[in-house]
Chains A and B, each alone.
Chain A
């Protein structure tokens, strides 16, 4: 067991420093690059916080859908192959719901401000 603060607490602290203390000092292309860097750290922070839970739920859904076990990557490979072969399609119970949930969980990490995601999130709420 590692000591604390946790990784997402550390990355968040770096991102906050860059955002609050450094960003106001620079301009032009370097400022643009800094914004990209801050976005990147924010993404890493979200992933460190959310990934474990969403991956576990994804594996549970994939096991039920595929009737087989494996890591999240292995199960995604199996699902991809079965869709490619036409063995699983939108008529398969649970596929649509699984793909929607998985995709929403990815957007929550990758791009929570993406307009399509916010629209779909408001549907859930």
Chain B
């Protein structure tokens, strides 16, 4: 049982802790797992989250920054006042838990549709687009000198990677071809300023409370590059969950997000944001294709994965709405 290892671990580094209890797996792929548990403490239970690669699964996928980098980024964000869980412990071999880290558990909601529809978030919703701008500004201001080793990405490199992924699927899609051409023709070139890019900042990867954003999660695609990438990705229609007239995560307008970003002292390049929204829409479409491939060839023969494969056409209509709008 994982509780035995967690208990032995927490008593070593958490002052006063006597053990760990109520461990439950929240999600798990082949190489990475997330668990919730409580640290038993005389002052009352402390909510915690374990993110780990189990023993024998050291290698992260090529695009992932790795769990150690993720822990460093979350801690840096926390210290800089960007909403993020505090990292409590980075796993060491004597923990016997694999590699990864343990962080503070933050209460709130991550399920996008609930955040967009439940009454509990009605007061927070109108604030979120602007808050997202402010949080992204804080994230893009994290000092480069303190960051862990990360990939350097540019628009040109990303287009090439997506094209390779798409060609690898051997799946002729004229709309994707059109989008690839558009991206090449409109490649804005390297950003004048290279910053930390979260890489998967969107509705679904944020913990939201009645008061707004409480934490930014899923830092595994963090890299160095054009900060406008994060502003474009959060606007991709797939992350609006039906609220298509509110581009920023289904919460509000681009202008509100831009105002929040600029109020925090950073500049927006609107054309670059649009470029990255197109790129992001294609990116999710190709990822849907990857799901189809893993369903067909891989160990994950689940219905969910199969059905995500059939969502690529959603990104095709969204690409057409961006590149060839009708009735305009």
Contact = CB atoms under 8 A, between A and B. Distances in A.
Interface of A: 33, 36-37, 39-40, 43, 73, 76-77, 79-80, 83-84, 86, 89-90, 96, 99-100, 102-104, 106-107, 110-111, 114-117, 119-120, 123
Given A76-B174, A83-B174, A83-B178, A107 B317 contact: yes
B238 to A, nearest CB: 10
Interface in B177-236: 177-178, 180-181
A48 to B, nearest CB: 14
A96 B243 CA distance: 26
B248 to A, nearest CB: 16
Contacts of A73: 172
B159 interface: no
Contacts of A83: 174, 177-178, 181
The 5 closest A-B pairs by CB, nearest first: A83-B177, A80-B172, A106-B313, A77-B172, A110-B313
Given A99-B324, A103-B316, A117-B317, A36 B174 contact: no
A117 to B, nearest CB: 6
Contacts of A116: 237, 244, 314, 317-318, 321
Interface in B313-328: 313-314, 316-318, 320-321, 323-324, 326-327
Contacts, number: 86
A120 B328 CA distance: 12
A36 B304 contact: yes
B311 A110 contact: yes
Given A40-B307, A76-B172, A99-B175, A119 B244 contact: yes
B310 interface: yes
Contacts of A43: 307, 310
A116 B238 CA distance: 10
Given A36-B304, A100-B324, A84 B313 contact: no
Contact of B324 (A79, A90, A107, A115): A90
Contact of A84 (B181, B304, B317): B181
B295 to A, nearest CB: 12
Interface of A is mostly: helix
Interface residues of B, number: 30
B237 to A, nearest CB: 6
Contacts of A104: 317
A79 B174 contact: yes
A120 B313 CA distance: 14
A111 B314 contact: yes
B63 interface: no
